[in-house]
Amino acid sequence: MADDVSRHGMWSSRLLFVLAATGSAVGLGNIWKFPYITGENGGGAFVLVYLICIAAIGIPVMMAEVLLGRAGRQSPINTLRTLVKDTGASSFWTVIGWMGVLAGFLILSYYAVIAGWAVSYIFRLAGGAFAGADGAVSTAIFGDFMASPWEVLLWHTVFMIATIFIVARGVVRGLQVAVRWLMPILLVLLLGLVGYAAIYGDFARALEFLFTFDASKLSWSGTLTAMGHAFFTLSLGMGAIMAYGAYLQSNTSISSTVITIGTLDTAVALAAGLAIFPIVFAVEGLVPGEGVGLMFQTLPIAFGNLPGGSILGALFFILVSFAAITSAISLTEPALTYLVEQYNAKRWRVAISLGVFCWLLGIGTVLSFNTWSDAKLFGLTFFEVVDYLSYKVMLPLGGLLIAVFVGWVLARRTVVSQLGYGDGKKWSLWETGIAFVAPAGIVIVFVYTIVQSFG
């Protein structure tokens, strides 16, 4: 059926795929988003639902995406076209590819803005702005920054240019360097921060907050947030991992690779939570439900009160920025490869056009925190609408379609030849996950959320 290599390039080893996919998965979702939505949704119960969604929905859907990508070896849209033809299925299923392209645009547009915040914090930290800072100082610095649209726009622009630069160089050349060195250093630094939080913060309360299950704290809409975040943090539901799967060698085991990626991603998120919440509980003026500024208001306090903290803090935000870049580039890959295939266009031209488009869309998010903060649709700012639509609607919907397509529609021989097994325990576990647990789980959360919000 499809070729054994992709025209866009190939990972040079299994390790490189793991690094690239982990680079895509680990990003602002783990360090910025996971802590603040956990704080807003009351802690333990939310964390548990999130962990269940990763294991029961995220892992099977990630396997399905890698399998689809490798079976088709093209952009997600053309991969789906090929597989639909091969299976004799309805061309409706290519909607997965199209919706993914759209979701990728929406997410990247605001992702680059928040990543720009992180880039600007490199210089704030290095300049010693947080020396001896307390909660009031860090909150004021963040507030002043948000109130300056031009400054936010500047860093948004810087980040977008850097992303497009790497994307234009091509997946393998652009990525290899970034993920091989920076990801491991980030992990070490994050663990160091957990150590700091354990000594100087209120570690016991943070543990209790993160790991005590109190069902009364969780609504269906909180459950949808946790599920949407499971997709977001693993980069699922829009074809990013499908696109990366297209460059994976045929003899690599999909199940064990995917489990490695999921575990690493979860470990980073929990470490971020364990670094941030002890500070929240120990510092006056900070609360768990702080919102989007949580990471920016807490971690600089730790750095500001450590010897050598300015340098360490700057290094930390450099690494967060790199983690964000290795995620951002995967958001463009589905659209980019499609345009290259369809119009035989040069990779760098497409990269620049996509970048300009997302940059423009991102201005809406820049202004959501200042000039447009009162402009609301259903009570949500521009940023909140884009965020909501992408991770609470489009990603889970994309995930549902992927699960049903692979679990029920796709020719069994394709699935079996990709996974390397077609019976036994592993197969039943996979089959149960992809055909039943994942689709049913997603539908149940959608339905109950709708019923609860309108009922």
Residue (304 or 362) nearer to ligand TRP, CB? 362
Residue (71 or 329) nearer to ligand TRP, CB? 329
Among candidate residues 91, 93, 88, 101, the one with its CA nearest the CA of residue 68: 93
The overall longest dimension of the chain from CA atoms, in Å, is 65
Residue (30 or 321) nearer to ligand TRP, CB? 30
- The Cα 350–Cα 379 span in angstroms is 36
Instruction: Write down the least CB distance from residue 380 to ligand TRP, Å.
Output: 19
Residue (240 or 438) nearer to ligand TRP, CB? 240
Burial of 454 (0-12, 13-18, 19+ CB in 10 A): exposed
Instruction: Write down the least CB distance from residue 202 to ligand TRP, Å.
Output: 27
- The Cα 50–Cα 44 span in angstroms is 10
Instruction: Write down the least CB distance from residue 365 to ligand TRP, Å.
Output: 15
Instruction: Write down the least CB distance from residue 198 to ligand TRP, Å.
Output: 24
Residue (106 or 301) nearer to ligand TRP, CB? 106
- The Cα 184–Cα 95 span in angstroms is 36
* Distances in whole angstroms, Cα of residue 136 to Cα of each of 1, 199, 300: 62, 22, 12
Instruction: Write down the least CB distance from residue 34 to ligand TRP, Å.
Output: 8
| Residues at the contact surface with ligand TRP, assessed by CB under 6 A | 24-25, 27-30, 107, 232-233, 235, 238, 240, 327, 330-331, 395
Instruction: Write down the least CB distance from residue 244 to ligand TRP, Å.
Output: 10
* Distances in whole angstroms, Cα of residue 75 to Cα of each of 172, 192, 334: 16, 39, 6
Instruction: Write down the least CB distance from residue 451 to ligand TRP, Å.
Output: 26
Residue (274 or 395) nearer to ligand TRP, CB? 395
* Distances in whole angstroms, Cα of residue 66 to Cα of each of 140, 162, 171, 364, 426: 44, 27, 16, 33, 17
Residue (233 or 252) nearer to ligand TRP, CB? 233
Residue (27 or 439) nearer to ligand TRP, CB? 27
Is there a contact between 230 and 392 (Cβ–Cβ < 8 Å)?
no
Instruction: Write down the least CB distance from residue 180 to ligand TRP, Å.
Output: 18
Among candidate residues 24, 72, 64, 74, the one with its CA nearest the CA of residue 338: 74
Is there a contact between 409 and 68 (Cβ–Cβ < 8 Å)?
no
Q: Which residue has the tokens 């947080």?
A: 130
Q: How many helices (H) and strands (E) does the chain have?
A: 23, 0
Residue closest to ligand TRP (Cβ)? 29
Among candidate residues 135, 273, 285, 284, the one with its CA nearest the CA of residue 208: 273
Instruction: Write down the least CB distance from residue 114 to ligand TRP, Å.
Output: 9
Residue (28 or 282) nearer to ligand TRP, CB? 28
